[in-house]
């Protein structure tokens, strides 16, 4: 009979308990023992939720204080030298790597952060050198295993595979062959497995998601060698793959020294017979049959029909699970007491996905499909629901042509018109959009939503916040201002709340990184804009100053990527629907006197398919969607976009094809290394490389900012450079924000004098 296991569970807790505990510890209002106790409480609750839902083999090691890649870095002793501190402890060392600062130890530059494959989850990039030495230096995993066992659970420890870990790492100094470090790293992994075997662990999950990529021969051989090295250490090894089809690696996988393989059955069309053959009768086959990355209820009846033959054939050698870790989904749908009942009937969060597996397992074992047929009725009802279709939207998208993705003139002509209209200095200074979200701002938004603050009072308070932000920016001497986004809870959620075909939950939080949680919109129908979404706030801000104020929008690809997207319509069509809605907003902002409009696309790179052979198709429709959104702008209206955590070498041509007048990008953590993409590619438009890292409370000095601008000027002509932070300032405090921006403006002023 098929066993139910899970690859990972949301670590934040039902009510984001981990977020609040982390931030309290960083602020010094709780001590480390209290933080650790809260972590143990969250793990206990998570294991209980899964066990009650029917999961028999529970993931352990999926809990992390910041992210699981960083946890691996600390466990294998790969801490960068600058983050070591004699007056610190392992947990604070971890936080210094992630944030540049912790309650104990030195303040120093944080490590880079980027996206986990094609998800909106961030990880801290390991920094390795050719002389790297690994050692088992952290025992958290073994502590968590003991906790689970003492609670009566059967744990399945989860490890990031050593080859994936090396693949994700960066060379700290000069480039070198990272795979040369594999033999030494494998020695540490062997020690880990030996310790787990001593704890009576039977199965260990080794995650190697790079198998979804198109790997070269060196990495393919490294994967084979790693499993040969790790076998025979007293535990059974379950290779876990996910996020895409791995059929192109099946010949390799069948030669791995492993005891079982987990495949993401939902990632693409998969030949189950080919998977079965590759695994063989002597090894376990695990199938990810419910979606670990989306929130739609599974059609268990259809799954049963497809799985029944293989379940009959394999018996206990078949396991069922979510497609990937449930880290990417909210914790529990039952908390959503105010959600539209029909929409709620279409959904399943992490807890419910575990329950789905239990229902499916029962049907496979008993051949009684009554329960799953009843459960799947809502899925079929959704498929025929009339509320998801909007003919007006469908007709607008169908009518789009190549001309709808064109500005009035080429950039060379637009740039002259914009320079005359805006009259900006050399190295113009600006920010990315958001300013600190104070407790007063959050309370006002919360009270307004709850109905305890009326509309007039809410608008009065938001306008007061905008006035304050404008005055602060003028006092600092910034050249292009923003309204600060006080009215916005999240850059995607804010727009999703105002678009037709989109709904929101109250507790549907997922982790983005560390203590940062987001509540993705649920796109369930055709997307349309019924009224202006940002015009009032931008117009008000512009009325307070003679300096230009940027209108702030989130782009179509990012809204799509950071939402739970309907699975009954292709992504390019949904992106076009959003783009048409945003185009209308651009026109309205322009008509309201807003001369600069920023259309943020931080998700542009992360959305790219994992296989390079599929990239161009994606880039074609993603670029088209962005250009449609910007196409309503006149020549004098300057269109900005913002991207972060991207390997720009992969998409530099597409960035140019987007034809934004100005692009701002995250480059500070890499010390402008990401600008290497522009070294061999002539990028004609203007660019603002981030000159300081907003994800750390550390305040940059004038000299360090000038150094970064000088480095940028080696790749981009100075007359086309902007000066800005690398991302929005929403998560920062006002004191550090003022200090950092003051230094940024001073650096720009000094450089103008030096260059004139």
Active site residues: 695
What string of H, E and C letters represents the secondary structure of 329-395?
A: CCCCHHHCCCCCHHHHHCECCHHHHHHHHHHHHHHHHHCCCHHHHHHHHHHHHHHCCHHHCCHHHHH
Distances (CA, A) of 197 to 8, 145, 224, 232: 21, 11, 22, 11
Give me 733's structure tokens.
């405090």
Give me 334's structure tokens.
């039952």
Angle, vertex CA 720, rays to CA 715 and CA 723, nearest 5: 90
Strand partners, 5: 57
Distances (CA, A) of 466 to 238, 471, 543: 54, 9, 11
Q: Alpha-carbon torsion 161, 614, 573, 579, what sign?
A: positive
Given a contact cutoff of 8 angstroms between Cβ atoms, the answer to whether 69 and 56 are in contact is no
Half-sphere exposure of residue 220: CA atoms within 13 angstroms, side-chain side = 15
For the chain, the residue count is 756
* Residue given tokens 């910007």 in the structure block: 630
Given a contact cutoff of 8 angstroms between Cβ atoms, the answer to whether 269 and 236 are in contact is no
DSSP readout, 49-110? HHHHTT-SBEEES---SS-HHHHHHHHTT---GGG--TT--HHHHHHHHHHS--SSS---PP
Between CA 267 and CA 246 the distance in angstroms is: 9
Distances (CA, A) of 330 to 333, 353, 445, 685: 8, 11, 22, 40
Strand partners, 123: 114
| Burial of residue 367 (number of CB atoms within 10 Å: 0-12, 13-18, 19+) | exposed
Choose among 546, 522, 448, 430: nearest CA to 488. 448
Distances (CA, A) of 178 to 126, 173, 239, 317: 11, 12, 22, 36
| Burial of residue 404 (number of CB atoms within 10 Å: 0-12, 13-18, 19+) | middle
DSSP readout, 441-461? HHHHHHHHHHTSS-HHHHHHH
Distances (CA, A) of 57 to 154, 304, 350, 354, 364: 6, 21, 16, 12, 18
Given a contact cutoff of 8 angstroms between Cβ atoms, the answer to whether 321 and 350 are in contact is no
Given a contact cutoff of 8 angstroms between Cβ atoms, the answer to whether 364 and 310 are in contact is no
Give me 120's structure tokens.
């909106």
Helix axes 455-476, 734-755, angle to 10 degrees: 40
* Residue given tokens 């699981």 in the structure block: 68
Bridge pairing between strands 522-529 and 499-503: antiparallel
Choose among 205, 247, 208: nearest CA to 225. 208
């Amino acid at each position: 009979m098929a066993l139910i296991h899970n690859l990972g569970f949301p670590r934040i807790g039902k009510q984001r308990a981990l977020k609040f505990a982390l931030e309290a510890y960083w602020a010094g209002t709780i001590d480390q023992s209290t933080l650790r106790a809260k972590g143990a409480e969250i793990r206990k609750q998570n294991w209980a939720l899964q066990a009650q839902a029917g999961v028999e083999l529970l993931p352990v090691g999926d809990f992390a204080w910041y992210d699981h890649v960083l946890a691996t870095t600390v466990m294998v002793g790969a801490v960068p030298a600058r983050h070591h501190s004699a007056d610190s402890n392992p947990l604070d060392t971890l936080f210094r790597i992630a944030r540049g600062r912790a309650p104990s130890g030195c303040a120093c530059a944080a490590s880079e952060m980027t996206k986990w494959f094609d998800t909106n989850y961030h990880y801290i990039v390991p920094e390795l050198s050719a002389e790297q030495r690994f050692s088992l230096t952290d025992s958290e995993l073994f502590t968590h295993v003991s906790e689970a066992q003492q609670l009566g659970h059967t744990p399945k420890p989860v490890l990031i595979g050593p080859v994936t870990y090396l693949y994700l790492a960066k060379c700290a100094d000069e480039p070198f062959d990272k795979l040369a470090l594999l033999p030494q790293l494998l020695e540490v992994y062997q020690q880990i497995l030996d310790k787990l075997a001593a704890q009576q662990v039977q199965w260990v999950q080794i995650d190697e998601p790079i198998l979804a990529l198109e790997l070269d021969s060196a990495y393919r051989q490294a994967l084979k060698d790693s499993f040969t090295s790790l076998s025979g250490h007293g535990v059974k090894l379950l290779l876990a793959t996910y996020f895409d089809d791995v059929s192109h690696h099946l010949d390799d996988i069948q030669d791995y020294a492993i005891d079982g393989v987990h495949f993401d059955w939902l990632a693409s069309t998969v030949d189950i017979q080919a998977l079965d053959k590759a695994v063989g009768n002597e090894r376990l086959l695990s199938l990810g049959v419910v979606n670990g990355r989306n929130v739609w209820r599974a059609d268990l009846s259809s799954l049963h029909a497809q799985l029944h033959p293989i379940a009959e054939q394999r018996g206990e050698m078949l396991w069922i699970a979510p497609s990937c870790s449930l880290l990417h989904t909210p914790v529990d749908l039952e908390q959503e007491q105010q959600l539209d009942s029909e929409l709620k009937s279409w959904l399943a969060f992490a807890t419910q996905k575990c329950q789905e597996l239990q229902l499916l397992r029962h049907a496979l074992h008993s051949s009684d499909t009554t329960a799953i047929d009843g459960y799947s009725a809502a899925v079929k009802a959704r498929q025929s629901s009339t509320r998801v279709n909007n003919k007006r939207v469908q007709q607008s998208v169908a009518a789009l042509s190549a001309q709808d993705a064109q500005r009035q003139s080429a950039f060379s002509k637009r740039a002259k018109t914009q320079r005359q209209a805006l009259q900006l200095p050399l190295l113009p200074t600006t920010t990315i959009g958001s300013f600190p979200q104070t407790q007063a701002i959050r309370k006002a938004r919360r009270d307004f939503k709850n109905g305890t603050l009326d509309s007039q009072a809410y608008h009065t308070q938001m306008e007061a916040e905008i006035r304050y932000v404008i005055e602060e920016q003028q006092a600092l001497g910034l050249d292009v201002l923003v309204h600060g986004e006080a009215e916005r809870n999240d850059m995607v959620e804010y727009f999703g709340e105002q678009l037709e075909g989109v709904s929101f939950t109250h507790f549907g939080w997922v982790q983005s990184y560390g203590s940062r949680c987001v509540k993705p919109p649920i796109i369930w129908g055709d997307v349309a804009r019924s009224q202006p979404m940002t015009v009032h706030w931008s117009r008000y801000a512009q009325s307070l100053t003679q300096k230009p104020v940027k209108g702030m929008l989130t782009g179509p690809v990012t809204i799509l990527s950071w939402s739970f997207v309907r699975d009954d319509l292709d992504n390019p069509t949904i992106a076009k629907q959003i783009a048409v809605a945003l185009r209308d907003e651009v026109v309205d902002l322009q008509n309201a006197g807003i001369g600069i409009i920023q259309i943020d696309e931080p998700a542009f790179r992360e959305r790219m398919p994992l296989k390079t052979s599929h990239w161009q198709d994606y880039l074609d429709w993603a670029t088209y969607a962005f250009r449609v959104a910007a196409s309503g702008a006149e020549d004098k209206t300057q269109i900005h976009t913002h991207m972060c955590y991207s390997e720009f070498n992969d998409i530099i041509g597409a960035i140019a094809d987007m034809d934004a007048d100005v692009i701002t990008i995250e480059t500070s953590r890499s010390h402008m290394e990401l600008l290497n993409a522009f070294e061999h590619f002539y990028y004609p438009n203007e660019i603002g490389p981030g000159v300081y890292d907003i994800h750390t409370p550390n305040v940059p000095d004038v000299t360090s900012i000038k150094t970064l601008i000088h480095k940028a000027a080696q790749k981009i002509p100075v007359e086309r450079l902007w000066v800005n932070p690398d991302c929005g300032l929403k998560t920062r405090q006002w004191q550090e924000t003022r200090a950092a921006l003051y230094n940024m403006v001073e650096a720009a002023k000094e450089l103008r004098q030096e260059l004139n």
